[in-house]
Structure 1
Amino acid sequence: MTLTRRTFMLATLALPGCTALGVLNDAAAPRDTYALQPVSSAGQTRRSSRTLLVLEPSAAAAIATDRILIKQDPLSVTYLPDARWADTVPNMFQTVLIQSIASSGQIGFVGAQGAGPVPDAVLLTRIDAFGVDRQTDGSFVARVSFELTVLRDRDQRVLGTQRFATVLPVADDRADTIARSFQAALEALLPQALPWVAARVG
């Protein structure tokens, strides 16, 4: 089954002729679940005693869900009908960031709100793109774009803001292939982002 057909099937559920029971049955159907993994930052040995609080990222409503976003054109928003993320994209992204920064060994403590000591710095994240786009030639790409801002906690001074983005081709329309494309996007971006964050935290 092609991605185009899957999307068509999902859109059909919204037509007036479809019963509410049919929609509920589809919503209750089990979906394959995918979780993105933290990314290691090899070669980074400098470690500080600083502490960093990573807040939950902000994102548009279409992104802030556990569904895998598919855009057939700039104006349409649909989702893979038989697959989902293990958590909402902002929560999953926050977890990946915390684990990736912590495993880099460059910052003394990295955690989420409500955990750990009073932070020296706070990391804000805005996710601008996290989905699959259909190209004019019928192919698909995974698009990931996010902006990081580091604040000094004691006076909320902005220590730096930087955008990170990439677009990677998706080899086929299988859900596991699409999930691996997003993992590859993070593996391309986070090794750039982690040293940038560490340098601002100090």
Structure 2
Amino acid sequence: MLKLARLSVLLPALALGGCLSFGEKTPPSLLTLTPAATLQPGATQTASAESVTVAVPVVPQEIATLRIPVRSSETNVAYLKDARWVEPVNRQFARVLSDTVATRTGRTIVGQRMFGEAGVSLGGELRSFGVDVPSSSAVVTFDATIVRRLNAPLERRRFEARVPVAAVEPQAVAVALNQAANQVAGEVADWVGR
């Protein structure tokens, strides 16, 4: 009798378990950004007044997610099905930016927590990082800010890259966004190095 009572409690719980979902289904693979310019293993850099502190860019809610926004108009945003970043895209972009600035300018990149106000401070807002359907392109827009030395005026400049997307599907979009992110990072590095 006791076994029957336990079974009567367990069966509804098991049936209900099939209806519950604790989060979204994970896609078959996660996407990541890779820098086109990387530092060579074993290369030593020394922090100096010419070092650069790169802050993780702030982002609007549209891209403060692991999903990839797809804009079909100025006011309509959806998210690409079965596509997720491995981590927030602003952190990934900061690493691409750091590697690109270090490689192109020869300057040492230091973390904010390590040195705070060392040398040049680079930050900004990643305004867009997704797909624009009307132009069939991946779009990366970064409003960069830079303070070149202590008590110097803040400079601000917008950088944008648009790369054609063959199909609005995860792999094609990831490749195009990676290319656009590296293009923007290269332009920012040239601006930092002037």
Under a length normalisation based on structure 1, what TM-score does the superposition of the two structures give?
Answer: 0.73
For each residue in 1:55-87, what CA deviation from the matched residue of structure 2 results, as whole angstroms up to 9, or x when unmatched? 110111111222111112222222123111121
Greater per-residue strand proportion: 1
d(CA) in 2 for partners of 1:23, 1:152: 53
d(CA) in 2 for partners of 1:22, 1:182: 36
Aligned residues with identical type, % of pairs: 26
**Residue 167 (structure 2) pairs with residue 172 (structure 1):** yes
User: Do the aligned residues in 2 keep the contact of 1:51 with 1:118 (CA within 8 Å)?
Assistant: no
**Residue 99 (structure 2) pairs with residue 99 (structure 1):** yes
Q: Which residue of 1 aligns with 2:139?
A: 143
d(CA) in 2 for partners of 1:98, 1:57: 12
- 1:36 aligns to what SS in structure 2? coil
> Which deviates the most, 149-158 or 165-174?
149-158
d(CA) in 2 for partners of 1:90, 1:117: 20
Q: Which residue of 1 aligns with 2:65?
A: 65
Counterpart residue identity of residue 103, structure 1: T
- 1:59 aligns to what SS in structure 2? coil
> Residues 119, 173 of structure 1: CA spacing in aligned structure 2 closer, same or farther, 3 A cutoff?
same
> 1:187 Cα deviation (Å)?
3.4
Under a length normalisation based on structure 2, what TM-score does the superposition of the two structures give?
Answer: 0.75
Larger Rg, first or second structure (1 or 2): 2
Matches within 5 A, 1:47-86: 49=48, 50-86=50-86
For each residue in 1:143-173, what CA deviation from the matched residue of structure 2 results, as whole angstroms up to 9, or x when unmatched? 1111111114532532x32211122221012
Moved over 6 A (4+): none
Equivalenced residues, count: 169
Matches within 5 A, 1:1-202: 24=21, 27-40=24-37, 49=48, 50-107=50-107, 109-116=108-115, 118-135=117-134, 140-152=136-148, 154-155=150-151, 157-158=153-154, 160-199=155-194
> Residues 25, 150 of structure 1: CA spacing in aligned structure 2 closer, same or farther, 3 A cutoff?
same
Supply the RMSD in Å over aligned alpha carbons. 2.7
- 1:179 aligns to what SS in structure 2? helix
User: Do the aligned residues in 2 keep the contact of 1:71 with 1:77 (CA within 8 Å)?
Assistant: yes
d(CA) in 2 for partners of 1:100, 1:78: 31
**Unaligned residue ranges in structure 2 (runs of 5+):** 1-17, 39-46
